[in-house]
Amino acid sequence: MSNQRITVSLPSIFSISIVVLLILLFWHLKDLIILSMTAVVLAVTLAPAVGYIERRGLPRWAAVLLVYLSLTTVFVGFGLLIGPTVVEQTENLISQVPVYSEALYYWVRDLASRVNVEQRDFITQLINPQAIADWGLRSSQQLVLRSVGLTKGLVGGFLSLILVVLLSAYMLTGSKSLLNGLIQMAPYPWNDRLQDQLGPVGKRMAGFIQGRVLVSAILAVVITVGLNILGMTEVALALGLIAGVTNLIPFVGPILGAIPAVVVAVSEGGLVWLWVLLLFVIVQNLEGNILTPLVVGSSVKLPPLYMLLTVIAGTQTLGVLGALILPPWVSGVSVVVENLYLKPKAIAEAQLKKSGAIDPTDLENSLTPAKAVVSSREEATP
């Protein structure tokens, strides 16, 4: 047996060291990176409005200032209009959590007793009102703490919000020079290729975010009106707002938004819970089949499984914040992968097939080795 000597060159050691140092640097700057990613999402969302105003003759800095002032005015106006009611109803929901969990407990126990009397003890052990209330509070606290874990307390969260707004405003004001400077660091010809992707990436990210926000706002209004019609006037606005905010999260958001409303409806007695559940089912079907295709369209050309995995990964790492900011980033990265890899690959394969340089059958067999082996054996058989 021959002895094989493994040699490691000095450039390899240097490259590995650089990679390790970069990983450590990114880890220590993860809070700033998260804030920067959030600022990019905000900047991309507001970029079309800034561009529209700029084309009307205003300087870009003035357009950015006008957009942020308008946005602040809208938020302050809505806060003054519905803020006190939302706060009051939210406090009422939180204070009534033990009551809601107890009503859910008795409802499930009665349902189990009608189906099978022997299951009552099992349901009693499975659903404990106090345990449900404690679990709900702990889960909510963990999600919130994970989402704002990059800050320290309420003051830190406010400062982080200010920093995100300032970063996004700077990105909008000097976006061209900033992006051009970063892209020029890439080697030729990748700098030109990446430069061509700025427009499509921004368009897809903006379309995704704006579509989700508009659809969620419509859903919040419809749910609020529907709950008021069903008689849940004391908490309708808070539950509608919860449904709208959670709907920003793809796939799992609608389910998260429906759970509090159904649980509260159970405590109302009768078949109110069924009507509330039916309301959410109808609204979600209208959103998925009409609103989302109409508003968002084909701006996100990602398989649903990839988007679902993105939401799960964002929730696991950053909580609710990650579930909100990672999907737009993935939709933007998908543009680069699609335009710089998938489309050129498909065009090159089509040209090779057309020129006869490769046989389409050979190409198919190379992608499926098992089929190639079977095919070769069949050709060798006399």
| Mean predicted lDDT score pLDDT of the chain | 75
Does 283 reside within a domain?
Answer: yes
In the chain, the number of structural domains is: 1
| CA pair distance 240, 246, nearest whole angstrom | 10
pLDDT at 140: 54
| CA pair distance 216, 196, nearest whole angstrom | 32
The yes-or-no verdict on residue 223 having pLDDT over 90 is yes
Query: Which pair of tokens denotes residue 255?
Result: 């389910």
Does 381 reside within a domain?
Answer: no
Does 111 reside within a domain?
Answer: no
| CA pair distance 230, 279, nearest whole angstrom | 10
* Between 65 and 189, residue with greater pLDDT: 65
Structural domain including 79 reads: 18-95+128-370
Mean per-residue pLDDT for 22-42? Answer: 80
The yes-or-no verdict on residue 145 having pLDDT over 60 is no
| CA pair distance 14, 10, nearest whole angstrom | 6
Any residues with CB less than 8 A from the CB of 77 and at least 6 apart, and which?
A: none
CB 250 within 8 A of CB 311: yes
Does 210 reside within a domain?
Answer: yes
Spatial CA neighbour of 266 closest among 91, 137, 100, 97: 100
| CA pair distance 364, 243, nearest whole angstrom | 47
Highest mean pLDDT among 10-14, 44-48, 291-295: 44-48
- Dihedral of CA atoms 104, 110, 116, 122 in degrees, nearest 10, equals 40
- pLDDT band for position 382 (50/70/90)? very low
| CA pair distance 224, 222, nearest whole angstrom | 5
> Quick count: other Cβ atoms within 10 Å of Cβ 318?
22
| CA pair distance 38, 320, nearest whole angstrom | 12
The yes-or-no verdict on residue 304 having pLDDT over 90 is no
From residue 61, how far is each of 46, 80, 175, 263 by CA, in Å? Answer: 13, 28, 11, 48
pLDDT at 30: 74
- pLDDT band for position 142 (50/70/90)? low
Does 123 reside within a domain?
Answer: no
Does 103 reside within a domain?
Answer: no
Does 24 reside within a domain?
Answer: yes
Exposure string (b/e) for 31-56, b if CB count within 10 Å is 16 or more? Answer: eeebbbbbbbbbbbbbbebbeebbee
CB 129 within 8 A of CB 101: yes
Query: Which pair of tokens denotes residue 203?
Result: 């368009």
pLDDT in tens, 75-112: 889 888 888 888 888 888 888 888 887 787 777 777 66
In three-state secondary structure terms, 269 is coil
| CA pair distance 127, 163, nearest whole angstrom | 44
Does 180 reside within a domain?
Answer: yes
pLDDT in tens, 233-253: 888 999 999 999 888 887 778
Residue whose pair of structure tokens reads 């509608």 in the numeric block:
240
In three-state secondary structure terms, 296 is coil
